[in-house]
Amino acid sequence: MYSRVADFFQKRERAFFILQGVILVLYVLLRVTTTVSALNAPRELADTDIYARISTQPILGPGFLEVDRPFVFPMLLQIVRQDYGTAAIIQLALTILAWGLLAYFVSSSFQPVWLRLFSFLIVLALSLVRHLAGWDFVMMTESLSLSSFVFLIASAVWLLRGWRADKVVVLFVIAFIFAFTRDTNAYLLAMFAGLILFAVLFRWAMPNALIVAAGFMLIFLISNLSADTSERWMFPLVNVVGKRILPYAASVKSFESCGMPVTPELLGLADSFANGQDRAFFNDPALEGFRTWVRERGKSCYARWLLANPVQTVGAALGEFDGLIYFEDVGKYFSRRYADILPSQAERLLYPVYYITWLWILLTIAALIAIVRRAWRNNILWAVFILLALTIFPHLFITWHGDAMAPHRHAVSVGLQLALTTWLLILLIIEQFDSQLAWEKQRT
């Protein structure tokens, strides 16, 4: 039965391309028709006004590095002149394009036609999960962060299928947009750069891959320079100090040894966010010394503390792993007119819900085995899988420790990464199983 199905699709490749086009058209119609109500009522959250204010000022000019939020979403609002409805339409269009391209490049990486069709359907179906699809109608950075991440993965697959200078340029442009959509995205690029460098040193990748590693690292450095110049890292760091440092005497003592001036006024803000108690962290004259310390040494002291307490800091991120990836309250951020596209049973098959930490461990082990076996020689998607799998937890670690406010929302990209990596592994294993069956069929 299995071989007859495979032969049926293999002999009808032209019909497959037509079917693929029909599926894509139906996918677009589904995305648009099921979300018209949400498009007409985009959701504004607390920070939307900040992005709108930034969008009324010059962005891509001499003060580019001084913008106090990553510039991509404010730039979108500037282009549409703060019309949130038009911004939602553009976000949805970019999402559809990104997932359509990823589905095409992933599916075309397989040889069996039936597997190409199945992988095409899976990637498109994954994009319909509420944790990923609901952000297009929210006036924050999540939608553009997710779609640029998908564009980045698609362009990476495209480049791996054949090295060309124009593909490298496209990859760098997308990576730049990805980094300047959300600051933590730039750290993911740095992780990719480190893994690519490692692969070149062990001769698992061609030397020209160093160009990609260098480009990713340069984009990270520019993003970091922008964050430092604008001091936009201060607010999330103060969130961390208020919620995760000041309530614990041992942590306070550690930061005090790094120069943080511990005063009764500062301790009185324990368990407060940066904007709590009338923004006392930033406005109270008695805390001027604290603010000076944050600017001059806060970032380096925090990084030193994270590295000096690996059991505590890694354990904290691991303890929140499941809840961060799948959180029941995700709908509270969405447009009140947004309706789920898929039934819950389908979503649970497509998106991680249970045993997420164990799933991550499995993906990591699979990536290490793939490295030992140099699996990318059989299918370049293994290289993409390895890069994504080995950066899941570091990505989560940076996200969790980067800000104490709304960490679930900030971890949406990690959820996308985990879900897509899981399906890449499943598809690649299916391909190996299919190849083994074909080989045994030839023998007999």
> How does pLDDT run across 220-239, given as a tens digit for each residue?
999 999 999 999 999 999 99
Residue 68 pLDDT: 86
pTM of the model: 0.94
* CB of 170 closer than 8 Å to CB of 155: yes
pLDDT for residue 395 = 97
- Radius of gyration of the chain from its Cα atoms, rounded to whole angstroms: 23
Model pLDDT, residue 76: 97
pLDDT for 353: 85
Please check whether residue 129 is in contact with residue 342, taking contact to mean a CB–CB distance below 8 angstroms.
yes
Average pLDDT over residues 149-154: 98
Q: How far apart are CA 108 and CA 119, in angstroms?
A: 9
Does the pLDDT at position 5 exceed 70?
no
Query: What does the mean pLDDT of the chain come to?
Result: 93
The shares of helix, strand and coil residues in the chain, as percent rounded to the nearest 5, are 75, 0, 25
d(CA 217, CA 148): 18
What is the model's pLDDT at position 444? Answer: 65
What is the CB neighbour count within 10 angstroms for residue 278? 9
DSSP secondary-structure letter at 42?
P
Half-sphere exposure of 377 (CA within 13 A, CB side): 7
Half-sphere exposure in the Cβ direction for 327 (13 Å, CA)? 19
Gap between the Cα atoms of 391 and 195, Å rounded: 9
Rounded Cα gap, residues 179 and 215, in angstroms? 12
* Res 7 pLDDT > 60: no
What is the spatial distance between Cα 346 and Cα 103, in angstroms, rounded to a whole number?
Answer: 18
The pLDDT of residue 254 is above 70: yes
Q: What is d(CA 230, CA 227) in angstroms, rounded to the nearest whole number?
A: 5
